[in-house]
Structure 1
Amino acid sequence: MPLLENDVIFAYLNEHDPNHAVAERIFQKLQNGEIRVEISSVSLIEMELIYQSEKIEHMLLKHLAAVAALPNVEYIALTPDIAVASVYLRQTSNLTFFDSHYAATALNLDRKIISFDKAYDGVPGLIRIRPETL
């Protein structure tokens, strides 16, 4: 199963996001059982940090509940191997902190990540699935 990156989740949760319609189609396919994905547990931490920094924590519980209720999703825990790989990726691929964790997680799984972010295209061994193709 591919890893679903937070940019797709955020696009789904924000109806003003330019990628909202594409993300909505993916979430509908999850609801219908047409696709299955994995989500890194690190994505939940990123959500909390972003909502806190953007002063929109009042929306966090509702959005976390919506993500937690998704069918056909498996959450992947952060392991020491993934943490080590994410540090390596930050040093060699110029990825951000969270992007390096998602890339490391995907590489530890089936090497596929669903994301709008082209930064993943430069990660050796990682296959980025463009959300609009699903």
Structure 2
Amino acid sequence: MLIENDVIFAYMNERDRNHEKAEVLFQKIRDGLGVEASSVCLLEMELVFKSESREDELLGAITALKGIENIEFLPVTPEIVISSIAIRRNYELTFFDSHYAATALSRDRVIISMDNAYDSIPNLNRYEPDEVP
């Protein structure tokens, strides 16, 4: 199962309206549930923190994320990039969302996200963070 950045951001921000949903998932992860994350999520985090003039917080956020056991960061491959391009051409997903969808499709075809844009992608199954079995 691939965890999407919307869930990670919600977990990191206690004021986020979806923080409690994300907390349910992260408790399962701390209890031993294994999940995967695209390494693209780290780049997206850098860009978001930079655009919000919060780069001074970035090191702590990445370090905290890296310290959570049971999250495996997956590399970007040429196949994933090709797939993400096809997804962007055929579905209205953003650059980062297309990479997350392509990565999930290359694995077990499951993505954990609150973004219903993924529901339009054939063969991709989406779980809300508080619905993960």
Normalising by structure 1, what TM-score? 0.96
The 1-side partners of 2:36 and 2:16 are apart by 22
Question: What residue ranges of structure 2 are gaps of 5+ in the alignment?
Answer: none
Supply the RMSD in Å over aligned alpha carbons.
0.7
Q: Residue 108 of structure 2: SS of its match in structure 1?
A: coil
Deviations 1:75-123 (A, max 9, x none): 1000000000000000001100000000000000000000000000000
**Displacement of 1:31:** 1.1
Candidates 38, 41, 44, aligned match of 1:43: 41
The number of equivalent residue pairs is 132
Report the counterpart of residue 75 of structure 1 in structure 2. Answer: 73
Candidates 57, 60, 66, aligned match of 2:58: 60
**Displacement of 1:26:** 1.1
The 2-side partners of 1:114 and 1:98 are apart by 14
Report the counterpart of residue 21 of structure 2 in structure 1. Answer: 22
Aligned-residue sequence identity (percent) comes to 52
1:92 aligns with 2:51: no
Q: Residue 75 of structure 1: SS of its match in structure 2?
A: strand
Normalising by structure 2, what TM-score? 0.97
Q: After superposition, where does 1:91-110 map in structure 2 within 5 Å?
A: 91-110=89-108
Report the counterpart of residue 120 of structure 2 in structure 1. Answer: 122
- Moved segments of 4+, more than 2 Å: none
Q: Residue 128 of structure 1: SS of its match in structure 2?
A: strand
Question: What residue ranges of structure 1 are gaps of 5+ in the alignment?
Answer: none
**Displacement of 1:132:** 2.2
The 2-side partners of 1:28 and 1:130 are apart by 14
The 1-side partners of 2:11 and 2:55 are apart by 17
Q: Is this contact kept in 1: 2:111–2:127, CA < 8 A?
A: yes
Question: Which amino acid letter does the alignment assign opposite residue 99 of structure 1?
Answer: D
The 1-side partners of 2:92 and 2:23 are apart by 30
Q: Is this contact kept in 1: 2:37–2:74, CA < 8 A?
A: yes
